Amino acid sequence: MKSEPTSQYMFLVRGGSCSSGHSPEEMQAHMKEVYNWIDDLTKKGIFSAAQPLTQEGKIVSGPGLVSDGIAAESKEAVGGFFILNVASMDEAVRIAESSPMFGNGGRLEVRRIAALTACD
């Protein structure tokens, strides 16, 4: 079966950093959910890469114009990203909807990674 041509999409994980109110058991259960989701994507050949980001960050606006990054507690803070191979934005959104990342007000920003060859 010839599969549809795919593009790479990046899911930016915003907000939703776990508060200290969660029990170890709940945290571990959440981690397993994330793994199951990723395992499933890996089996389907969709998963490409993922990395967490540490909390510390700086915003550099020019030489000598350095300020602190977005606080980790902020809803806008990016906690990590996923890169997936999918055929369309619609499919990427569907996959994002199926993810277990939404606890504590977490959100996923879905962005297509621009191809080098064509102007999208």
Partner 1 sequence: MSQQGTSAGEVADHFFRHEGAKVIATLTAHLGTHQLQLAEDVVQEALLRALQTWSYHGVPENPAAWLTQVAKNLALNALRREQRWNEKQDGIAAEQERWLSSPAEDMKHETFADDTLRMMFVCFHPELAAEAQTALALRTLCGFSPAEIAAAFLTSEAAVAKRLVRARQRIRDLALPFVVPEPGELSARLSGVLHTLYLLFNEGYKASTGDRLVRNDLCHEAIRLLTLVTEHPATQEPRALALLSLMLLNAARLHTRTDDAGHLLRLHEQDRTAWDQAMIQRSIVCLRQASQGGGLSVYHIEASIAATHCLAVDAASTDWPRILHLYDQLLAITGSPVTAMNRSVAVARVHGPQAGLDALRSIQQRSVLEISHLYYAIGGTFAAELGQTETACAHFEQALKLATLPAEREFISRRIEECHGKT
User: How many Å apart are CA 44 and CA 25, to the nearest integer?
Assistant: 29
Site string for partner 1, 70-109 (x = CB under 8 A): ---------xx-x---------------------------
Tell me how many residues contact partner 1 (CB under 8 A). Answer: 27
Structure tokens at 23: 């029990």
In 3D space, the residue among 15, 12, 16 whose CA is nearest the CA of residue 30 turns out to be: 16
Which is nearer to partner 1, 26 or 66 (by Cβ)? 26
Nearest approach in angstroms of CB 66 to partner 1 is: 23
User: How many Å apart are CA 71 and CA 77, to the nearest integer?
Assistant: 7
Site residues for partner 1, window 13-72 (CB under 8 A)? 17-18, 20-28, 30-32, 34-36, 38-39, 42, 47, 50-52
Q: Are 107 and 16 a contacting pair, CB within 8 Å?
A: yes
Nearest approach in angstroms of CB 60 to partner 1 is: 24
Which is nearer to partner 1, 6 or 37 (by Cβ)? 37
User: How many Å apart are CA 53 and CA 21, to the nearest integer?
Assistant: 22
In 3D space, the residue among 91, 84, 98 whose CA is nearest the CA of residue 12 turns out to be: 84
> Residues in the site for partner 1, rule: CB under 8 A?
17-18, 20-28, 30-32, 34-36, 38-39, 42, 47, 50-52, 79-80, 82
